[in-house]
Chain A
Amino acid sequence: MSDIRVLIVDDHPITCKGIRDLLEPAVGISVVGEAHSGGEALQMIEALKPTVVLLDMKLPDMNGIEIIKRAYKAGTDARILGLSSYNDREFISQLLTYGASGYLLKDEVPDEIINAVRGVAHGEAGWVSRKVAALLSQILLKEQEGGTELTSRELEVLGLVVDGKTNNQIGLALGISAKTVEKHLHAIFRKMGVVSRVEAAILAVQESLVKRDLNISAETE
């Protein structure tokens, strides 16, 4: 079986060296390179084709998420193991959603790094240490999906749509630019789950979001 090829990405040479020293004695793992910036990392992922990338989430030129997105876009099949000092559950779960194969706290490196590298190399998805797993499975807060209700301004815009006003007319009436009206409409459509102003107007009247009789013959663009 061939070795697991590891690329270490961290802007602190001293940390890179520390990680390398921990990994090198392990059987079946070889460190193929060290990158100290995001740009360098992307080049080396392309050139060295590592099995596993140990990625520090905070680099001087770009943040870790950006690197993950770009690396996947460039078609890499390397597994990315995020490395950071934050034990913040949102930070970690977001990172995993963005496609990282695993996450390791920097303090856990001495004890867990070899397990983690082997784990993600063997295809484990969402590899996290037991400590982090415990953190992620903590009690959930009561939460309802927010931002789905229309704001008062959006209701105003919707009302004018029902009146059959154009974007320019709405903008004039509310003292905002037509471009801002466009943005409001975009958000309104998304929240209401519709794709056009006619649909939005019909739904608005049906659900009594605005109190008016729908005038179908009104101009609809």
Chain B
Amino acid sequence: MEEKLLLKKPGKSIRKKRAADTTRNNTLLDHKQAAHLQKVLDAFPVALVLVDLNGNIQYMDQTAKTLLGEPDKPLELEDWPQTFGLYLDDGMVLYPGQKLPLLRVLQGETVDESEEIILRKDGEERALWISISAQALKDENEVIEGAVALIRDITYRKQMELSREKQIQRIEALYKLSRLIAEAGTDLNDISNLAAKFTSEVIGDISVITLLTELKDKYKIAAFQDAGPTGQALLRKVLSPEVEYDLSDGLVGGVIKSGEPLLIPTIASEHLQTISSSAFEGLIEEINIESALMVPLTGRSGILGTINLYRKRGSNPFTVGDQSFLTDISYRIALAIENCRLFESLRTEISKRLATKEDLEISEERFRSIFESVTLGIKVLDLDGNILQTNLAFQEMIGYTEDELNGRHFSDFLHPYDIARASKLFHNVKLDGVTGFRFEHRTIHKNQSVVWAKTFFTVVKKSDKDDEPAFIVGIVENVTEQKRLQFEMEELSSRLQNSMELERLHLAQELHDNPMQVLYSANYRLEELRTKTDPETSEALREVKDTIQGVLQDLRATAKELRPPTIFSFGLENAIRSHAYDVQEKHPNLEIQLSLAHDQQSLPDNVRLALFRVLQQSLANVVRHAEATEVRIHFSFDAEETHLEITDNGRGFNVPATWIEFVRQEHFGLAGAAERVNALGGVFKVESQPGSYTTVRVTIPWSDPD
């Protein structure tokens, strides 16, 4: 009896092999009858590698040779990563040989999922993403004889995923920033600190905010933040917030004067001193800075200051992408800073005006000048909400003259949808002594167009000594353009989503139309050859046929994942049921309960597909994270809306408040599904109680085209 060691691996079982089999094993594909099969396989766009029981390569098709390169000497499986250049997803660490699907299936493991690996050949800059899946080849006694690996180039898909991820993160970050600014109120220090903290966190590492002084000839350091643990203390030591610096001093002054951003990806150590200024001297000396990014804070009234980011040596340098992201951020922060300053001066002026009668004339004049010169709209209301006075900016924003506005109620100019909310908020001011509220709403322009506005109402007291409210000032910012950008961003990401969906359908179609058909006919041909040949050859051909069969199963599963076959032919409820069966089969301990309405083929394809992706993602999460024993799926719809609800009794989780948190917690699929639902005007909700349950609830409106 001849013994063969599968792998030089202590502790693993040694497999015995019948002597009679080994000769045949080595000649698995040597038969000339199989020669034409090689040609067929060479034309196949997915790379195939066939190994024997010892892991020696028996056959590589042309695609595999092109992708991996042909090894010039016999190769142990464990040396694949070294020889072919296979790396973990950081691109630096070699892929551990023992984890290769091929090796695992040879050891008798079943490997259902493919491994995603970076492929970078020696001396080549460009890295590819590949996926490897493997399946064992067994004889009639279920003894493993070898294995076949299927290797796909998935670089394009990975790139799509990464850029999409980045974009979603940015959109989420900008939303988050807008919300933080809204919550921060009107204190300049708060806004500056927020700006430093946010940019340090989202882009990194060290952030310093500078602001111009009142006369605009000097600048000061307004806030700073270092994401590192010891950083903040160090910054406090090396930066001097009290000092005013001259504009001719250093790069910051240059950015302020030119109004242009400045990106220095890498600074050589010996040049560090040249970028230094007296403001940042300490910082440069103490911290070895590699990369700098400075963006002006540009408001309506001009440059207000700068946001400066620095990264220490050894981290990734800033990119053009970071610059455009920071520019988006700086625009929002500049507006917030302007608002703070406006409030500050209004507050001072109004209280002065009311308190000191003797200075009235001068004050009146100054008040007037602020009132009329600012580019933000201002309206002064009495306690009932009637307009007493407006400035030019406000009149221009909504297209009415001062006379047309005076004496009217402020809500006369609001969009009907926003009136109820406005009245309620306004009422609270009088009743509960709220000192101010912020309110985003639509206003109707005289020409009937909609103007989006953000209004901050603030109550002005009679005097410092008298807390009675005197009147209410509304400061109105026109955010129509911002809204438009926001809608465009949403549309852009939904289009991206759709193009991914198209790509998937296309890929499924492609798989079905080409490789699978070619393999089917190769198999039919083999079967035909088998009847015309001697028994030994016939047996070898049968094995080849089985190999192809295995590959076909793999492809079929992929195609099904990409484009569920049932959904378009037989309706959503059948696709849901079918998917539930597949999940049930793999996870027999999970009890799945269905309650499904018949969609009667009436729902539009995109609605069905969106609901189906939600189902796929939710069930994947249940299986992966929930540790549930029971899941209920409910699908219903009426003439206006479709509903899908998936509830499990698993361990639940704290539902993040924002989608960026979902993305951070790697609930990426769910975030994508939610976006798809939103793009169709639907609502996506996750509800969960840690230790108890999770419910995903989706509603999408629809209408029959006829």
- Chain A residues with CB under 8 Å of chain B are 12, 14-15, 17-19, 21-22, 25, 57-58, 63-65, 84-91, 94, 106-107, 109-111, 138-139, 141-149, 151, 153-154, 176, 180, 183-184, 186-187
The answer to whether B525 touches A18 (Cβ under 8 A) is yes
The answer to whether A143 touches B640 (Cβ under 8 A) is no
The answer to whether B578 touches A91 (Cβ under 8 A) is yes
Size range of the chain B interface in the assembly: 35 or more
- A57 — which chain B residues lie within 8 A by C-beta? 569
The answer to whether A21 touches B525 (Cβ under 8 A) is yes
CB contact between B552 and one of A58, A85, A94, A138 (< 8 Å): that residue: A85
The CA of A7 and the CA of B185, in the complex, are separated in Å by: 77
- A183 — which chain B residues lie within 8 A by C-beta? 639, 704
Contact with A along B169-197 (1 / 0, CB 8 A): 00000000000000000000000000000
Closest chain B residue to A139 by CB distance? B584
- A87 — which chain B residues lie within 8 A by C-beta? 556
Nearest Cβ on chain B to A25's Cβ, whole angstroms: 8
The CA of A82 and the CA of B314, in the complex, are separated in Å by: 62
Most A CB atoms within 10 A — which of B552, B553, B584, B639?
Answer: B639
The answer to whether B595 touches A90 (Cβ under 8 A) is no
CB contact between A65 and one of B552, B569, B591, B595 (< 8 Å): that residue: B569
Known: A86-B565, A184-B638. A141 touches B595 (CB 8 A): no
Nearest Cβ on chain A to B6's Cβ, whole angstroms: 29
Known: A94-B569, A110-B527. A153 touches B641 (CB 8 A): yes
Known: A86-B560, A90-B577, A138-B585. A146 touches B635 (CB 8 A): yes
The answer to whether A142 touches B593 (Cβ under 8 A) is yes
The answer to whether A17 touches B521 (Cβ under 8 A) is yes
B581 interface residue per 8 A CB criterion: yes
The CA of A143 and the CA of B635, in the complex, are separated in Å by: 12
Within 8 A of A (CB), among B539-596: 545, 549, 552-553, 556, 559-560, 564-566, 568-570, 573-575, 577-578, 580-581, 584-585, 591-596
Nearest Cβ on chain B to A176's Cβ, whole angstroms: 7
B518 interface residue per 8 A CB criterion: yes
Q: List 18 A-B contacts (CB under 8 A).
A: A12-B517, A14-B517, A15-B517, A18-B523, A88-B565, A94-B566, A107-B520, A107-B552, A110-B526, A110-B527, A141-B577, A142-B591, A146-B594, A147-B636, A148-B597, A153-B641, A176-B640, A183-B639
Q: A94-B574, A141-B584 are in contact. List 6 more A-B contacts (CB 8 A).
A: A21-B528, A88-B560, A88-B578, A109-B520, A148-B597, A154-B638
In the A-B complex, the 4 residue pairs with the closest CB atoms = A147-B597, A18-B524, A110-B527, A183-B639
- B573 — which chain A residues lie within 8 A by C-beta? 146
The CA of A180 and the CA of B595, in the complex, are separated in Å by: 25
- B545 — which chain A residues lie within 8 A by C-beta? 110
Closest chain A residue to B638 by CB distance? A151
The CA of A148 and the CA of B634, in the complex, are separated in Å by: 12
Known: A94-B570, A147-B596. A85 touches B638 (CB 8 A): no
Known: A14-B517, A184-B638. A147 touches B527 (CB 8 A): no
Nearest Cβ on chain B to A103's Cβ, whole angstroms: 13
Known: A15-B517, A146-B634. A88 touches B594 (CB 8 A): no
The answer to whether A90 touches B574 (Cβ under 8 A) is yes
The CA of A148 and the CA of B549, in the complex, are separated in Å by: 43
B637 interface residue per 8 A CB criterion: yes
CB contact between A63 and one of B525, B569, B594, B639 (< 8 Å): that residue: B569
The CA of A13 and the CA of B591, in the complex, are separated in Å by: 45
The CA of A147 and the CA of B526, in the complex, are separated in Å by: 49
The answer to whether A141 touches B581 (Cβ under 8 A) is yes
The answer to whether A143 touches B581 (Cβ under 8 A) is no
